[in-house]
C-alpha cells in the first residue's frame, strides 16, 4: 500500500498544541491558504458529521454525512469520517497545489494516526492515509502541503464556529444525524 521506506511517516503533518489559547492563536494566524473545519454530532440517537472548506474570496463548501444510530456508531468514528471528508475536499479542490489546514477539535482522533491502526474504526484512518498518499504523489511537492491541527472547540475561532454552526446548531450535522444525505457522487468513494 505504500513504500516500505516511508513506514511510520504520514503524508500530512499533525500539530497538537499545548493548550487552548495556543490553539486559538495558531488558528487566527494560520499560514495555509485553505482551511477546513469539521465537527461531529450525536443527536436523538443518531450520529452525523459536517465539514466546511474556507478559501478567501470563494464561497464556503460543505459536506455532511449520516452514519446511523448511536448504538452502532460513535462520535470518534464520525470524527475520522469528517477528516476523510476534509481530505476529499482537498482532493476535489481545483487549485490543489497550495497549502491546506484541517482543524480537528478532538485530540484523540489526531492521535489515532500514531497507533498501529488495528483497532476498531481505524480502517478509516488507514483510508485517510491512503488518500493523502495519493494526493501527495499527484500534487507539486513545493507548493502542496496538508496539515491536521488541533483546533480547540468553542473558542471563537471563525472557521470552527462555522463548522459548529453547520454541524450542531443549524442544519448540516443535524440533517446528517437525522438521515439526510448529500448526492452520493459528492462523497469519497469509500463512503458511497
Express each pLDDT in 62-116 by its tens digit: 888 888 888 998 888 989 999 999 999 999 988 767 889 998 888 888 988 887 6
Are 96 and 90 in contact by the 8 Å Cβ rule? The answer is yes
* Domain annotation for the chain: domains and CATH numbers: 4-181 (3.30.420.10)
Please provide the average confidence, as pLDDT, over all residues in the chain.
Answer: 79
**Res 56 pLDDT > 80:** yes
Q: At what angle do helices 75-92 and 122-138 cross, to 10 degrees?
A: 10
Q: Which of 83, 79, 85 shows the shortest CA–CA distance to 12?
A: 83
pTM as predicted: 0.83
pLDDT band at 189 (very low <50, low <70, confident <90, very high): confident
**Res 136 pLDDT > 60:** yes
- How far out from the chain centre does Cα 11 lie? 14
Q: Which of 2, 29, 33, 16 shows the shortest CA–CA distance to 145?
A: 33
Amino acid at each position: 500500500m505504500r513504500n516500505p521506506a516511508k513506514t511510520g511517516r504520514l503524508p500530512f503533518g499533525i500539530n497538537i498544541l499545548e493548550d487552548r489559547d495556543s490553539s486559538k492563536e495558531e488558528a487566527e494566524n494560520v499560514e495555509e491558504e485553505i482551511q477546513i473545519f469539521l465537527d461531529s454530532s450525536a443527536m436523538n440517537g443518531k450520529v452525523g458529521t459536517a465539514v466546511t472548506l474556507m478559501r478567501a474570496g470563494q464561497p464556503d463548501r460543505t459536506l455532511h454525512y449520516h452514519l446511523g444510530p448511536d448504538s452502532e456508531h460513535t462520535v470518534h468514528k464520525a470524527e475520522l469520517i469528517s477528516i476523510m471528508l476534509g481530505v476529499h475536499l482537498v482532493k476535489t479542490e481545483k487549485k490543489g497545489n497550495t497549502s491546506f489546514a484541517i482543524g480537528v477539535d478532538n485530540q484523540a482522533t489526531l492521535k489515532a494516526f500514531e497507533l498501529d491502526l488495528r483497532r476498531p474504526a481505524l480502517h478509516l484512518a488507514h483510508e485517510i492515509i491512503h488518500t493523502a498518499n495519493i494526493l501527495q504523489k499527484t500534487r507539486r511537492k513545493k507548493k502542496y502541503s496538508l496539515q491536521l491541527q488541533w483546533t480547540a472547540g468553542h473558542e471563537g475561532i471563525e472557521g470552527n464556529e462555522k463548522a459548529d454552526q453547520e454541524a450542531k446548531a443549524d442544519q448540516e450535522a443535524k440533517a446528517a444525524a437525522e438521515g439526510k444525505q448529500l448526492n452520493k457522487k459528492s462523497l469519497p468513494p469509500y463512503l458511497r
